[in-house]
Structures are given as C-alpha cells and as structure tokens.
Amino acid sequence: MIDIAGILAENILYIVMVTLGGMLISWSVHFVPVGGAPAAMAQATGIGTGTVQLAAGAGLTGLVTAGAVMNVSDSFALVVASGAVGAMIMIAVTMIVGTLVYVYGVGVPPASAKVDYDPITKDRQDLYVSQGTEGHGLPTVSYVSGVIGGALGGIGGATIYYSLMNTSTGLSQSDLVALASIFAVGIFFVNAVIPSYNIGGTIEGFHDPKFKKWPKAVFASFVATLMCAFVGVLAIGGL
Amino acid sequence: MEPLMGMGVLALMGAAATIAGTTEDLESDVGSQSNPNSQVQLAPQMMYPHRIYNKAISGEPPSNALICAIGGTVASVLMTAGLSVVFAIAVGALIATAVHGTYAITSYMGRTASQKRFKQPIYLDIIRSHTPVIMGYAFITTFCILVVSYIMVAVLGHPFPLALIAFIWGITVGAIGSSTGDVHYGAEREFQNVEFGSGLNAANSGNIVRKAESGLRNGIDNSWFCAKFGGPVTGLAFGMTVFLSGWVTAVFDPAISITWGWLSVVAGVVLVLLMIIWNRRIEVAAREAYGPYKEDEEVAA
C-alpha cells in the first residue's frame, strides 16, 4: 500500500516548486511573439508558427541543457540558469533566421502593427506595415520579448525537472531520469497550451494589449499544474 | 572528455543537425505542411483547384516528434538486442519513414476528398511521385536526429533516454522549420504573383500560384525553389541551436567546477545579446533599403 499522505508530506516543497514552474511557463508563453498561419504568410508580426509549438521547442531545448548540467551538478541555481540559456539560444537563433527569411526571402522590413513606435528603439512602425497586413517580421521589441519568454520557459521547465528528480523515491537513477523528464515534458505542454486561449493565434510580445490578460492564464495554470504536481510526485514517490 | 574531442563531437552533431533541419523544411515544402498549407487548403474553395500535395498530418513539431520518437524507440530496442548502432539507427529511421508515408497518403487522400464539392481532383500521379520524395526527406531527417541523439547519450553522457532526446529534438526541428523555412514557402513561393516585397494583402488569400516554370506547379517544384534559401537557412537555424547549446557547456564544462558552470551561462547570455544586436542591424538595414510603404502623416499623440 502506498503511503500517500507520507509521500505528499515529505515532498510538499517539490509540489510547490513544480506548481511555480508551471505558472512560470504559462507566463512565459505570453512573451513569445507568435503569429501563427498569418505570420507564415508575412501577414502578422511574429514568428510564423503556433504558440505551443514554439514555446515547447524552446522550453524543451532548455530542458535538454538543464538535464545535461544536472547530471554533473547539484546546484539548483545553475541547473535553472542552464535551462534558461538553452531555451534562450534556441529561440534567439530561430528568430534571427526568421528575420533573415522575412528580410531577404520575402523582402519586407520588420514592423509592428500594434504600436506606432517601437518601445525599445523608438522607431516608427506604422509606416513600414505593408497594405492589408497586421505587420510582419520581428522588430527589436518582439525579439527581446521572445528572448525573455524563452528564458522564463527554460527556468520553468528546469524547475519542474529539478523538483521531480529530487522527489524521494526507490527508483534507480536511470528510471528516475526517464520518468522525471517525461513528466517535465508533459507538464510543460499542459502549461504551453493554457495561454493559447488568451493569445488566440497571434501576439507580438509584452507590448501587445493581449499580454495584459496573463493573470487569467497563470491562475488556470496554477490549478492545472497543482493537479499534475500531485500526480507526478505521487507516481515517482510511490515507486 | 578532452576539450578537442568534445569540439569534434559537437561539430559532427552540428553537421548532422544542419542536414536534418534542411531536409525537414524541404519535406514540409514537397508535401505542403504546417501553416502555409492553410492557403493550399483554401485555394479550391476560392475556385483555384491545383496540383499541390496537400498533407497536414499535424503541426510540424508533433509530426516530426512522432517520427523521431518512433525511430528512437526502434533503434533503442535493436541496440538492446545487440545489433550495431548504424544498423539500429537506419532501421529505426526506416520504420519511422514508413509510418510517415502512411500518414502522408491518408492525409492527402482525406483532405483532398473532402474538397470534392469545390471540384478539386485527387491526382494519383501526384501521390505516386511525391510520396517517395516525402518519405526520403523524412528518412534523412529522422536518421540525422537519431545520430545527434545517439551521440548525446553515448558520447556526451546525457542522462535522458535516446527516445526522449529524439522526441525533444523532433519537436525543436519542427518548431524551427515551421518558424523559418516555411515562411519562404508560404510568403514568397506560394505568392510569386504579387510584387516582391510588396507585402501580402490578406485579400489575396487562397490565390496561390498554380503555374510552374514549366507546366502546372506541384510540390516538387516548390521544394526546388525553397531548396535555394528556405531549406538551407532552416538547417542553419537547427544546426546553430544544437551546436551553440552544446558549445557553451563543452567549452565551459560544468563538471569541472561550479564556476565553469556559471561561465557557461554567461557565455550563453553573451551569444544571445550578440544575436539581439545582429537582429537590430538587419532591421535597420531593411528599413533603409526598402523604405516605408506609406507617406508620413502625423500620428495622433
């Protein structure tokens, strides 16, 4: 018989950390400038793919880096920072190559349709938006926002992985790594999907009016991740 | 590991990842997958029937994650059974490719059949000519990602199981392919009937180019065009992601001491800052080269 109360009492800190990690991922997704199908046709500012896809691609790359570092170090701060760096590198590379394609392959300058002036560079935006589109490419503000989103997502994913790896269990190390990493990937996806209801296909970054809706998604993620955390910690702790 | 050896391994991984990224994008161009496929799907409804392969099995990241995870699982099982690594990876990729081919055909048949009311025919010659190309590209992608994953597990000692690393790289290559190379296909190749750089008015939706350089355009014509720019830059992006994310920990190995671990974090942040500056420089150059679309009018304060 599994001692459910005992496992939960012993690992309460990790349940809290997993939940916080999930909430962080949910918040991070709002920073990532995605334009969905319209952006793939250069009809909207941002990266031309779906919210979940890009956030997951970046966050999971961070998880790979965090997993490699956790293999050789016990420092929570270092593991989390490595997760952030891995995710930031993935999203920064994707966005820079995206910019190359928009500028040299499609021939449109980066421009935001949500603001008249870029909040970071103070460049005029509205004149550079082509007719019949909602902006295109990645102006500096969207780029910086994407990097912040990648970092937060990487931190969230690494926190979840670190917490699950430290849950008290009778599993062998290799089984624990496999189980913890699969739970981390699963919880990541749950929290990458929830904000897409707020974003509704396109968001330009933290300067977009839709960004202000983040508290709702983060609250929903709190509820969802708490349940995931119970299941994850119980499954790993009970084995 | 010796630093020089580590760099050699990383270079091999980067090269394999570059090929994987390129073929991933070209696979999605031949078969028309991901976001630009919305236009291929829309065209018959706007009375523009076409001869372009219409396969959107799912978004690119899940579909690539599926084939890479299948390949990784099969390869793991075969390696456990004592077969050689190269054989195991090749057979794993082959089985994944067969699954992908099945999905591609059913997807094309299903999607096109549902457009009967818009008089969009199902072209059997398109299935016969395009599906092997799609499967060929999918095989190269899966094979290269399995090579990267195997090197990470067996040589670099990554703790994650092979199948999971392959799954994660599958998600990543799909996310990169649909963010970078697909834009070249969706925003340029599908709409070569509008002036280059004029932007794509939403009113043009569905009016994709249906005539090729010779005859009627199909998916292979699209991959011929995208292989000149969209495909290689996707490879560049995925290769850079795999290489740089491994490079920071190969040069500043966290196994030596925690200080080196923090130096690797600093190196990663510096790389990202350099890319922010690079993006800004391209932005400025593009604004100067192309100029504004509209005359300046005072914006309301």
Mutation target for B interface from A49, A95, A117, A128: give the one with most B CBs within 10 A. Answer: A49
Q: Is A141 on the interface with B (CB under 8 A)?
A: no
List B residues 84-143 in contact with A (Cβ-Cβ < 8 A).
Answer: none
Three-state SS sequence of chain A: CCCHHHHHHHCHHHHHHHHHHHHHHHHHHHHCCECHHHHHCCCECCECCCHHHHHHHHHHHHHHHHHHHHCCCCCHHHHHHHHHHHHHHHHHHHHHHHHHHHHHHHCCCCEECCCCECCCCCCECHHHCCCCCEEECCCHHHHHHHHHHHHHHHHHHHHHHHHHHHCCCCCCHHHHHHHHHHHHHHHHHHHHHCCHHHHCCCECCCCCHHHHHHHHHHHHHHHHHHHHHHHHHHHHHCC
Q: Which residues of B touch A41 (CB under 8 A)?
A: 35-36, 39, 186-187, 190-191, 200, 205
The Cα–Cα gap between B226 and B233 comes to 10
In a domain, B299, yes or no: no
The Cα–Cα gap between A171 and A233 comes to 13
CA distance A54 to chain B (A): 5
pLDDT given for residue B115 in this prediction: 92
Question: Does B150 lie in the same domain as B280?
Answer: no
pLDDT given for residue A1 in this prediction: 67
Question: Does B132 lie in the same domain as B245?
Answer: yes
Question: Does B183 lie in the same domain as B276?
Answer: no
pLDDT given for residue B299 in this prediction: 53
Q: Can you give the C-alpha Rg of chain A in angstroms?
A: 19
Mutation target for B interface from A32, A41, A90: give the one with most B CBs within 10 A. Answer: A41
Secondary-structure breakdown of chain B: helix, strand, coil percentages, each rounded to the nearest 5: 70, 0, 25
Residues B154/B166, Cβ–Cβ less than 8 Å: no
Instruction: Write the pLDDT tens digit of every residue in A74-109.
Output: 899 999 999 999 999 999 999 999 999 999 999 999
Question: Does B149 lie in the same domain as B278?
Answer: no
Residues B180/B20, Cβ–Cβ less than 8 Å: no
Contact B174 A53 (CB under 8 A): yes
Q: Which residues of B touch A48 (CB under 8 A)?
A: 35, 178-179, 182-183, 186-187
Question: Does B280 lie in the same domain as B213?
Answer: no
CA distance A32 to chain B (A): 12
CA distance A56 to chain B (A): 7
pLDDT given for residue B294 in this prediction: 85
In a domain, B294, yes or no: no
Question: Where does the pLDDT of residue B301 fall: very low under 50, low under 70, confident under 90, or very high at 90 and above?
Answer: very low
Instruction: Say how many residues make up chain B.
Output: 301
Q: Is A186 on the interface with B (CB under 8 A)?
A: no
Contact B271 A92 (CB under 8 A): yes
The Cα–Cα gap between B128 and B120 comes to 18
Mutation target for B interface from A69, A76, A97: give the one with most B CBs within 10 A. Answer: A97
Q: Is the pLDDT of residue B300 over 60?
A: no
In a domain, B230, yes or no: yes
Average pLDDT estimate for B163-191: 94
Classify burial at B194, counting beta carbons within 10 Å of its beta carbon; exposed 0-12, middle 13-18, buried 19 or more: middle
In a domain, B52, yes or no: yes
Question: Does B133 lie in the same domain as B11?
Answer: yes
In a domain, B297, yes or no: no
Q: Is A155 on the interface with B (CB under 8 A)?
A: no
Count residue pairs from A and B with Cβ separation < 8 A: 304
Residue B85 structural domain: 3-250
In a domain, B37, yes or no: yes
pLDDT given for residue A239 in this prediction: 83
Q: Is A168 on the interface with B (CB under 8 A)?
A: no
Alpha carbon A167 to its chain centroid, in Å, reads 23
Contact B172 A90 (CB under 8 A): yes
Q: How many CB atoms lie within 10 A of CB B287?
A: 19
**Both structure tokens of B124:** 């059997």
In a domain, B140, yes or no: yes
Question: Where does the pLDDT of residue B297 fall: very low under 50, low under 70, confident under 90, or very high at 90 and above?
Answer: low
Count of structural domains within chain B: 2
Tokens 């996806």 sit on residue = A189
Q: Which residues of A touch B285 (CB under 8 A)?
A: 103
Nearest CA in chain B to A33: B179
Instruction: Write the pLDDT tens digit of every residue in B64-75.
Output: 999 999 999 999
Question: Does B82 lie in the same domain as B7?
Answer: yes
Question: Does B257 lie in the same domain as B245?
Answer: no
The Cα–Cα gap between A39 and A46 comes to 6
Q: Name the residue type at position B36.
A: P
In a domain, B102, yes or no: yes
Instruction: Write the pLDDT tens digit of every residue in B6-39.
Output: 889 999 999 999 999 999 999 999 999 888 899 9
Contact B182 A49 (CB under 8 A): yes
Q: Is B254 on the interface with A (CB under 8 A)?
A: yes
Question: Does B128 lie in the same domain as B45?
Answer: yes
Q: Is the pLDDT of residue B57 over 90?
A: no
Question: Does B256 lie in the same domain as B162?
Answer: no
Question: Does B274 lie in the same domain as B231?
Answer: no
Contact A106 B244 (CB under 8 A): no
* Residues in chain A where the model's pLDDT stays below 50: none
pLDDT given for residue A2 in this prediction: 76
Question: Does B240 lie in the same domain as B257?
Answer: no
Contact B293 A182 (CB under 8 A): no
Residues A147/A56, Cβ–Cβ less than 8 Å: no
Q: Is B228 on the interface with A (CB under 8 A)?
A: no
Contact A73 B258 (CB under 8 A): yes
